[in-house]
Copies of this chain bind each other. A is one copy, B any other.
Amino acid sequence: MIGLIRVFTTEDSEVLEQHGQMISKIYGVPVINKCIPDQPLGIFNNETEEIANPKIVELGKSMEKEGCKLLIISCAADPAIEQLRKSVSIPVIGAGSAASLTALAMGQPVGVMGISDCVPAVMENILGNLMVQYIRPEGVTNTTDLMTAAGREKAVEAARKLLDQGTKVIVFACTGFSTIGLANTLRKELNVPVIDAVEAEGLFASNLYKQFSITN
Please report the C-alpha to C-alpha distance between residue A61 and residue B104 in the assembled complex, in whole angstroms.
21
* Oligomer copy total: 2
Could you give, for residues 106-119 of chain A, a 1 whenever the CB lies within 8 Å of some chain B CB and a 0 otherwise?
11100000000000
The answer to whether B216 touches A193 (Cβ under 8 A) is no
Residues of B within 8 A of A158 (CB): none
A23 to chain B, nearest CB (A): 13
Q: What is the number of residues of chain A that contact chain B, defined by CB distance less than 8 Å?
A: 32
A178 CB-CB contact with B under 8 Å: no
Q: Are B85 and A105 in contact (CB under 8 A)?
A: no
Q: Is the CB of A93 within 8 A of B106?
A: yes
Task: Tell me the minimal C-beta distance from A79 to chain B in angstroms.
Answer: 14
A108 neighbours in B (Cβ, 8 Å): 85, 91
